Amino acid sequence: MNKLELKCFLDEKVELYNHPTFIKSDPIQIPHQFSLKEDIEISGFLTAIIAWGNRKMIINNAQKMMLIMGNSPFDFVMNHQEHHLEKFENFVHRTFNSDDMIMFVKALQNIYINHNGLESLFSKNQKNNSMQESISEFKKTFFEINHQIRTQKHISDPMNNSAAKRINMFLRWMVRNDKKGVDFGIWKTIPSSVLSCPLDIHSGNAARKLELIHRKQNDAKALSELDSVLREFDSNDPVKYDFALFGLGVFEKF
């Protein structure tokens, strides 16, 4: 396929998968349970953080997090007492354990009290048509409170050559506003044009088969390579092609 044919092919796949039916099998269903902005962004953030491995397990464990927080994540983050955190004692998702979860709750509280919330923090440091520096700076602020060093691994840093798949996915959820019913579009201070594709094994393999990228590793350099092509296809909304690449990889075994 030439570039025009490839763009048309991917646009068709975006239309196919960027649809409310996508929600029922995807972790994005967790924040879709809420209507309050802060509930959506906190539940979305915590769900995205554990979004690696089996998708059914991700959804089940994210649901457990919400239940422990009384299905009011913002209220829990802001008003919890120390003894409330004991409810996370047996929580674990792969290498993300109860200690990590407790630290994340405290870090989120710090962000809403001292940094005007997640949107305000992520909206800083948008540079070079990219959110990658913003993600790196966000990580520094997130871990400014007391924490175990091991917990830092649960937020990737693009400045250390990570593709930061989970945070880029979270940003897609919050920022994209195409009124198709999947992404929320509740953050107004970040344009869709600066978002990057959540590059993982599925989207990465599909992108390589379509010769959108040539780098073998799913890292920041590969993401930059993919970004440059997707921005040619749609400079205002390049990350919409995540639906196409992910759908091809997961649902069509492309």
Q: What is the pLDDT of residue 15?
A: 97
Low-confidence ranges of the chain (pLDDT < 70): none
Q: What is the pLDDT of residue 160?
A: 96
Nearest partner of 104 among 185, 33, 60, 166, judged by Cα: 166
- In tens, the pLDDT along 89-107 reads 999 999 999 999 999 999 9
**CA–CA gap between residue 35 and residue 140 (Å, rounded):** 29
- In tens, the pLDDT along 129-157 reads 899 999 999 999 999 999 999 999 999 99
Token pair of 156, please? Answer: 């990737």
Contacts of 66 (CB under 8 A, 6+ apart): 30, 33, 43, 73
Q: What is the pLDDT of residue 1?
A: 83
Q: How large is the C-alpha radius of gyration of the chain?
A: 18
CB 171 within 8 A of CB 122: yes
Q: What is the pLDDT of residue 254?
A: 82
Q: What's the mean pLDDT when you consider all of the chain?
A: 96
Q: What is the pLDDT of residue 185?
A: 97
Phi, psi of 189 (to 5 degrees): -95, 0
Q: What is the pLDDT of residue 79?
A: 98
Give the Å distances, CA to CA, from 182 to 43, 59, 94, 103, 114: 15, 16, 27, 29, 30
Q: What percent of the chain has pLDDT over 90?
A: 96
Would you list the DSSP string of 44-77? Answer: HHHHHHT--S-HHHHHHHHHHHHHHTTT-HHHHH
Domain boundaries, the chain: 3-250
Q: What is the pLDDT of residue 128?
A: 73
